[in-house]
A = this chain, B = another copy of it.
Amino acid sequence: MNTDRATRRGRPGYDLPSLLAVAVAVFNERGYEATSMEDLSRRLGITKSAIYHHVASKDELLRLALDRALSGLAEAAEEAAALDGRAIDRLEHLVRRSVHVLVERLPFVTLLLRVRGNTAAERRALDRRREFDHLVGDLVRQAAADGDVRPDVDPAAAGRLVFGMVNSLTEWYRPRGGLDAAAVADAVCAVAFDGLRGRAAAPPP
């Protein structure tokens, strides 16, 4: 789309990223299934054919949006897998980087976490989430084998719980709420790896 011309006409000009951002906001509000191209056209203030200038279909918008979340998480996973050092430290790195991805791509990850596998794009996204979960499971098991994870918690459950904490950001974190990504990542790692309980309160040995 020629942005200059669109602006001269008094209509908003979109490039693909800005169009995608609006589409994802609408998908999150109304649900992907319940959103029509007509709804998107109304919200964007441009015609359907102007949308089709950027993407072939609503499904392509979904794929692009899910990829934006998944590529961030995949980069975090590759980075963690490539690190030297103990599995527990690679796991902590993965948690920290994942929090950054969630905070920086919050609407995209929110959409990803609501996907239930109704379309090919959704099933592909679920497969990629499953790969990520496997990496988490492998890291927790390796950390447990190293003796770095408390022995009284099932490693599979532990990985789910820690990422349950990370994923809860999509439910309550608001960018304007005060805490920045680094502060949230610190809080998640502090609670997940060392626990909420203040050490000072422990009885003397």
Q: Which residues of A contact B (CB under 8 A)?
A: 31, 33-34, 88, 140, 146-154, 157-158, 160-169, 171-172, 179, 183-184, 186-188, 190-201
Contact = CB atoms under 8 A, between A and B. Distances in A.
27 contacts: A31-B33, A140-B196, A149-B197, A150-B199, A152-B190, A153-B186, A153-B190, A154-B187, A157-B187, A158-B187, A160-B168, A160-B172, A161-B168, A161-B191, A161-B192, A162-B191, A163-B168, A164-B166, A164-B167, A164-B168, A167-B168, A191-B195, A192-B195, A192-B196, A194-B194, A194-B195, A194-B197
A24 B179 CA distance: 36
**What is the copy number of this chain in the assembly?**
2
Contact of A179 (B154, B162, B199): B154
Contacts of A151: 198
Contact of A148 (B147, B187, B201): B201
Given A161-B168, A164-B164, A179-B154, A147 B201 contact: yes
Given A148-B198, A151-B198, A194-B197, 17 more contacts: A147-B198, A148-B197, A149-B197, A149-B198, A150-B197, A153-B196, A157-B187, A158-B187, A158-B196, A160-B168, A162-B196, A165-B168, A167-B168, A167-B171, A191-B192, A193-B196, A193-B197
